[in-house]
Chain A
Amino acid sequence: MNREGALVCCAAVARTYGIGETAIVGLRPTDCSVESGAKIALVGASGSGKSTLLHLMAGLDSPSSGTVSWPAIGPPERLRPGPIAVVFQGPSLLPALTVLENVGLPLALGGRSDRDAKRIAADALERLDLGDLAAKLPEEISGGQAQRVAVARALAGEPALILADEPTGQLDHLNGARVIDVLLAAADHSSAGLVISTHDPSVAERLQSRWEINGGELRNHASRAPAVPFEARR
């Protein structure tokens, strides 16, 4: 399975942690792909393999077997920072940087000047109504605010593929809904692919597609979104 123009394409990808009798299967052999503009809810219970699949798609982890490719993006070394943005499940802000600096970090890592990175980061924070927190340190804001800042960081670079691992897990209903709004709007704005792992049905309902994963096995993963090559958007 290698769809030309797909943002990410997994062919018989599997992931096993450990070896021998203690080995744990994180993901069974899976074929899937995400096209530009796709909005996918990855649904499953805790420990079902959601995060494993997202990490493989993000190129953060290597599969035990099978192949992950990014036809519309390029080789693995071009994935981040830039084309793929990840919103992590746990705290992921750098404690020594302010909120503004944290949001601007991927941009700076991508080669933007310090001034540009901060300007774009400030815009991203404003979009999530987080402008007031710009000068705060991560330890000075709440867990929910920190998760929203992580979303702002993911969106600041206008990625082609947004992979969000339970982004609303630490948020109340209102703020969770707001984060999903922002993610959807950002994906619409740049025709980015969006995959959100969740076990919140209300979040899953708002996305076009719903992939279910159980015991490391992925089901119902046909994307309804049109395939738009990443390069074509530029």
Chain B
Amino acid sequence: MTALSWLRGLIAHRRSRLVGTAIGVAVAVALIASIGTFLSATTSKMTTRAAATVAADWQVEVRPGADPARALRQVRSFDTVTRALPVNFASTSGLAARTGGSTQQTGPGSVLGIPPGFAKAFPGEIRRLSGGPGVLLAQQTAANLNAKPGQIVEIGRLGLPAARVRVAGVVELPAADSLFQNVGAPIGSQPQAPPDNVVMLPQRLFERIESPAPAAPSQLLATQIFASVDRALPSSPSAAFIDISGQARNLETRLAGGGLVGDNLGSALDGARADALYAQILFLFLGLPGAMIAGFLTAAIASAGSDRRRRDAALLRTRGASTRALVRIALSETAAATALGVGLGLGIALVVGQISFGTANFGAGTTAAALWASGAALVGSAIATMAIAVPAWRDARGLTVAGQRRQIGRRDRPPRWARYGLDCGLLIVSALVYRQASSNGYQLVLAPEGVPKVSVNWYALIAPAFAWIGAGLLSYRLADAFLDRGSRPLAVALRPLAGNLSMTVAATMRRGRGPLARSVALLALTAAFAASTAVFNSTYRQQAEVDARLSNGADVTVSESPGNPVGPGQGEKLASLAGVAGVEPLQHRFAYVGADLQDLYGVRADSIGSAASLQDAWFQGGSAAELIGKLADEPDSLLVSAETVTDFQLHPGDLIKLRLQDGVSKQFKTVPFHYVGVALEFPTAPHDSFFVANADYVAQQTGSNAVASLLIQTDGTNPATVASTVRASVGTSAQVTDIVNQRKVIGSNLTAVELSGLTRIELGFALVLAVAAGGLALALGFNERRRSFAIATALGARRRQLGGFICGEAAFVTAAGLGLGAAIATAMSVMLVKVLTGVFDPPPDALAVPGLYLVGALATVLLAVAVAAAAMLRSLRRPAIEQLRDL
């Protein structure tokens, strides 16, 4: 009954206290619900997206001697297999076609026997470019043979005369790597490239040509059963990977040695596991600090009314209220703040989801959204309990009535954590862990290919976690120490605002330094959180742009068909097209180093630097300009990938003999190079290993100046438009890509997570938190001291003089909070980007600072503080005695 009456009184007379606490709870609940639900949607999307890239879930290779028909029956009868079709593989000694009086020939290749309905069942395997069903030539093969639909192609057979077939269509093989995989080969031993020459025959024709008679030598190499499985997978990529690879092993067991399963779906999910873990880590790094700050903010907001609450409790105790009754009253206030805060918070989360992602559940399943909402509600109620009920319970148990009446309370010594130097200790440990972990390259997530177990280097997370806590506590200590010992300089600084009352204002601030130092620490943390998140987000966008440029090579890239060699002169032709500012030819060769086959890029050393916007972070052992300069000065110089340097224990200046294909004889010949530096990234190059060499030297040594790509810089015209022009000029002989489309691919396939969605939520909430820390916390603090201001007014204080008190505090909290926040933000941004190196691809050269957001955030915080101060001053316009009567 008392609790209910109390609550009624609270709602009637102390609304701002209740609403303030509820707002803090609401922000924490909304943040956790939004980020959590978004994370759940993201990991689920990762699984779906990884699975969507797979053309055929499983390729079951029938072992030699086993019966393909039996294996097919077994595969089809497997529980989760929804469709299975057999594909035959054979080899050919070469293909030939006669065009315009000349015969074009290719080297060895593959012949596939495709069953009816295959293209429809596995649409990701074959994409028709021209012609119709029947005998299909791969695009590159068609280019090599200069063959078109309707022409006759001869297929070379071992021990038999060549078979003649009529080409019905030309196709692209988007999943050629998995299509021609070596099923059952150990991880990492897959061939680097699929065969250049591929012809696909209808299965009956294949049987006639490749196994003409029992006595004739069969060309058949293998039969693979392509299977689709039920895609009802667990939403987490890790769980999905374990599930699907378990099924694959189960099928192998059932086949009892009759077949090996090439688990393409498992491999795709395998790759997504690390991304999902990074998503969770990002949640921890970017979401958790926000939720914790929201919790602290709520506690600070609630504690703004703690003096009043304590005095009320003291009054109740003098009227005979027991500890239990006081706790019950505090719990009723907690329940009210929780109900209001949780309801409001979940409402905000729904609106955020609707506005940002067009769906209230952020794209997650209903169960996941409900679970996160429940979790957020629990956290919200815990925050409210910690902020209201726990301090009330502690006061009721530990304080006398006189103690509860105290409003200021002299502090003889600093809090225990400050006496033991917890803040400094945490910062030192953070620095040590950061240093140690950065020496290991910050490999946060380890998900070895094919191994079900993934591991996260949680130890490295200590660095930012301790840094946040340590920085918050240190901010409190510094603000507290300055207010305690710096009254005189503070009074001097306050003189423009408070005039001759500056010493009095400084004294007031000194006595009330606990709440003020807490406000400073909170504002510092929220400002640092907003700024570091913004810097991280901005740097991430910058690197995504770099990634897009790395993948595409330039604004527009023309990739020549290997069967249709063109020289650097082709670039001059394209340079005259509208919208083209410059064209840079890029050679591509395959080179053997020992037994390893690697990509080699031949560049024009005098122009590649500017044409491809090379960045220093892509190289080791010198800047981009220095190392490319070496290629110009010493033509036999070679830039090598870091992996190769490690594998072959290379030192600068070492001689490296590569085997490159001669342009005339087509035989591999040894070409000497000297290792001069490391290339970590290079436009159009793969991530792992490759070489960069001087194009003229390569052309001279191999007798061929053929280029593989032409990197086109536009003159400001939209790259997509220029790409269309170029496409019209080069026809189907070359593939034309542009950076506009590449950005879309990078944006939706980035290694880690859709960070833009996460940071959009983060940046919004960071701003809300900063505004709340700056404006709301100050406003509530002022509100609790309305009686003091009313007394001062009754004593004759003018508005200007009251403004000195109010603006002095506001200015101190704002200046100290934002100053310390800027320092923390700088350190945290560097640390975040370093610790989360794995999210960036490639790692950034420098941080990108989003000036507009930061200036906007700063202006918003200043505005919030100004509004809080102005509102307080406005409320003091009423006659003092009226205010005193109300208070």
Is A139's CB under 8 angstroms from B796's CB? no
Q: How far does the alpha carbon of A170 sit from the alpha carbon of B728 in the complex, in Å?
A: 99
- In chain B between 392 and 417, which residues have their CB closer than 8 angstroms to a CB of chain A? 405-410
- Chain A residues within an 8 Å CB radius of B795: 80-81, 86, 105-106, 109, 153
Is A82's CB under 8 angstroms from B796's CB? yes
B737 to chain A, nearest CB (A): 69
Q: Does A94 contact B (CB under 8 A)?
A: yes
Is A97's CB under 8 angstroms from B504's CB? yes
- Residues of B at the A interface (CB closer than 8 Å) are 405-410, 500-504, 507-508, 511-512, 785, 788, 791-792, 794-798, 801, 879-882, 884
B783 to chain A, nearest CB (A): 15
- Chain A residues within an 8 Å CB radius of B501: 108-109
- In chain A between 67 and 115, which residues have their CB closer than 8 angstroms to a CB of chain B? 79-82, 86, 88, 90, 92-98, 101, 104-106, 108-114
Q: Tell me which of B406, B785, B881 contacts A139 (CB under 8 A).
A: B406
Q: Does A62 contact B (CB under 8 A)?
A: yes
Is B791's CB under 8 angstroms from A112's CB? no
Q: Does A61 contact B (CB under 8 A)?
A: yes
Is A96's CB under 8 angstroms from B500's CB? no
CB-nearest residue of chain B relative to A105?
B795
Is B879's CB under 8 angstroms from A101's CB? no
Instruction: Bits for A112-140, please: 1 = Cβ < 8 Å to B, else 0.
Output: 11100000000000000000000001011
A165 to chain B, nearest CB (A): 11
Is B504's CB under 8 angstroms from A106's CB? no
Q: Does A219 contact B (CB under 8 A)?
A: no
A115 to chain B, nearest CB (A): 9
Is A97's CB under 8 angstroms from B508's CB? yes
Is B796's CB under 8 angstroms from A88's CB? no
Secondary structure class of chain A's binding surface, majority of residues = loop
Is A80's CB under 8 angstroms from B796's CB? yes
Q: How far does the alpha carbon of A96 sit from the alpha carbon of B512 in the complex, in Å?
A: 7
In the A-B complex, list the 5 residue pairs whose CB atoms are closest, starting with the nearest.
A80-B796, A81-B796, A95-B407, A60-B881, A114-B503
Q: Does A55 contact B (CB under 8 A)?
A: yes
Is B410's CB under 8 angstroms from A62's CB? no
Is A113's CB under 8 angstroms from B500's CB? yes
**Contacts A/B (CB < 8 Å), 18 sampled:** A60-B881, A61-B881, A61-B882, A80-B794, A86-B795, A88-B794, A94-B508, A94-B788, A94-B792, A96-B408, A96-B507, A96-B785, A97-B508, A105-B792, A109-B801, A114-B503, A137-B511, A139-B406
Is A92's CB under 8 angstroms from B511's CB? no
CB-nearest residue of chain A relative to B506?
A114
CB-nearest residue of chain B relative to A115?
B503
A106 to chain B, nearest CB (A): 5
Q: How far does the alpha carbon of A55 sit from the alpha carbon of B883 in the complex, in Å?
A: 13
The size of the chain A interface, using a CB distance under 8 A, is 33
Is B500's CB under 8 angstroms from A97's CB? no
A230 to chain B, nearest CB (A): 16
- Chain B residues within an 8 Å CB radius of A105: 504, 792, 795
Q: Tell me which of A55, A96, A104 contacts B511 (CB under 8 A).
A: A96
B785 to chain A, nearest CB (A): 8
- Chain A residues within an 8 Å CB radius of B504: 97, 101, 104-105, 108, 114
Which of A98, A112, A139 neighbours the largest number of chain B CB atoms within 10 Å of its CB? Answer: A139
Is B410's CB under 8 angstroms from A137's CB? yes
Q: How many A-B residue pairs have CB under 8 A?
A: 82
CB-nearest residue of chain A relative to B882?
A61
Q: How far does the alpha carbon of A94 sit from the alpha carbon of B407 in the complex, in Å?
A: 10
Which of A62, A94, A101 neighbours the largest number of chain B CB atoms within 10 Å of its CB? Answer: A94
Q: Tell me which of B508, B796, B879, B880 contacts A106 (CB under 8 A).
A: B796
- Chain B residues within an 8 Å CB radius of A111: 500
Q: How far does the alpha carbon of A54 sit from the alpha carbon of B794 in the complex, in Å?
A: 13
A194 to chain B, nearest CB (A): 18
- Chain A residues within an 8 Å CB radius of B507: 96-98, 101
Q: How far does the alpha carbon of A98 sit from the alpha carbon of B503 in the complex, in Å?
A: 13
- Chain B residues within an 8 Å CB radius of A137: 408, 410, 511
Is A139's CB under 8 angstroms from B407's CB? yes
Is B511's CB under 8 angstroms from A86's CB? no
B666 to chain A, nearest CB (A): 91
- Chain B residues within an 8 Å CB radius of A97: 504, 507-508, 511
Q: Tell me which of B409, B791, B798, B801 contacts A94 (CB under 8 A).
A: B791
Secondary structure class of chain B's binding surface, majority of residues = helix
Q: How far does the alpha carbon of A227 sit from the alpha carbon of B836 in the complex, in Å?
A: 84
- Residues of A at the B interface (CB closer than 8 Å) are 55, 60-62, 79-82, 86, 88, 90, 92-98, 101, 104-106, 108-114, 137, 139-140, 153
Is B881's CB under 8 angstroms from A55's CB? yes
CB-nearest residue of chain B relative to A118?
B503
B417 to chain A, nearest CB (A): 25
Q: Tell me which of A62, A93, A114 contacts B879 (CB under 8 A).
A: A62
Q: How far does the alpha carbon of A95 sit from the alpha carbon of B515 in the complex, in Å?
A: 15
- Chain A residues within an 8 Å CB radius of B879: 60-62
Is B880's CB under 8 angstroms from A114's CB? no
Q: Tell me which of A61, A81, A139 contacts B405 (CB under 8 A).
A: A139
B885 to chain A, nearest CB (A): 9
Q: How far does the alpha carbon of A173 sit from the alpha carbon of B133 in the complex, in Å?
A: 115
Is A86's CB under 8 angstroms from B500's CB? no
CB-nearest residue of chain B relative to A79?
B796
A219 to chain B, nearest CB (A): 24
Having A86-B794, A96-B507, A140-B410, one finds 10 other A-B pairs with CB under 8 Å, namely A60-B880, A60-B881, A61-B882, A98-B507, A105-B795, A106-B796, A137-B408, A139-B406, A139-B407, A139-B409
- Chain B residues within an 8 Å CB radius of A106: 795-796
- Chain A residues within an 8 Å CB radius of B884: 88, 90
- Chain A residues within an 8 Å CB radius of B801: 109
Q: Tell me which of A60, A109, A114 contacts B792 (CB under 8 A).
A: A109
Is A95's CB under 8 angstroms from B796's CB? no
Is B797's CB under 8 angstroms from A96's CB? no
Q: How far does the alpha carbon of A98 sit from the alpha carbon of B508 in the complex, in Å?
A: 9
- Chain B residues within an 8 Å CB radius of A95: 407-408, 788
Is B508's CB under 8 angstroms from A96's CB? yes
Q: How far does the alpha carbon of A71 sit from the alpha carbon of B640 in the complex, in Å?
A: 97
- Chain A residues within an 8 Å CB radius of B500: 108, 111-114
B318 to chain A, nearest CB (A): 13
A220 to chain B, nearest CB (A): 26
CB-nearest residue of chain B relative to A116?
B500
- Chain A residues within an 8 Å CB radius of B502: 114
Q: How far does the alpha carbon of A46 sit from the alpha carbon of B407 in the complex, in Å?
A: 29
- Chain A residues within an 8 Å CB radius of B405: 139
B509 to chain A, nearest CB (A): 8
Q: How far does the alpha carbon of A101 sit from the alpha carbon of B794 in the complex, in Å?
A: 16
Q: How far does the alpha carbon of A90 sit from the alpha carbon of B881 in the complex, in Å?
A: 12
Is A110's CB under 8 angstroms from B511's CB? no
Q: How far does the alpha carbon of A207 sit from the alpha carbon of B398 in the complex, in Å?
A: 48
B800 to chain A, nearest CB (A): 11
B517 to chain A, nearest CB (A): 15
- Chain B residues within an 8 Å CB radius of A61: 879, 881-882
CB-nearest residue of chain A relative to B512?
A96
Which of A62, A80, A96, A104 neighbours the largest number of chain B CB atoms within 10 Å of its CB? Answer: A96
A81 to chain B, nearest CB (A): 3
Q: How far does the alpha carbon of A61 sit from the alpha carbon of B500 in the complex, in Å?
A: 28
Which of A88, A114, A153 neighbours the largest number of chain B CB atoms within 10 Å of its CB? Answer: A114
A92 to chain B, nearest CB (A): 5
B463 to chain A, nearest CB (A): 40
A79 to chain B, nearest CB (A): 8
Q: How far does the alpha carbon of A90 sit from the alpha carbon of B790 in the complex, in Å?
A: 13
Q: How far does the alpha carbon of A80 sit from the alpha carbon of B879 in the complex, in Å?
A: 13
Q: How far does the alpha carbon of A24 sit from the alpha carbon of B130 in the complex, in Å?
A: 96
CB-nearest residue of chain A relative to B406?
A139
Q: How far does the alpha carbon of A153 sit from the alpha carbon of B502 in the complex, in Å?
A: 20
Q: How far does the alpha carbon of A79 sit from the alpha carbon of B791 in the complex, in Å?
A: 15
- Chain B residues within an 8 Å CB radius of A112: 500
Which of A79, A88, A90, A95 neighbours the largest number of chain B CB atoms within 10 Å of its CB? Answer: A95
B124 to chain A, nearest CB (A): 73
- Chain A residues within an 8 Å CB radius of B791: 88, 92-94
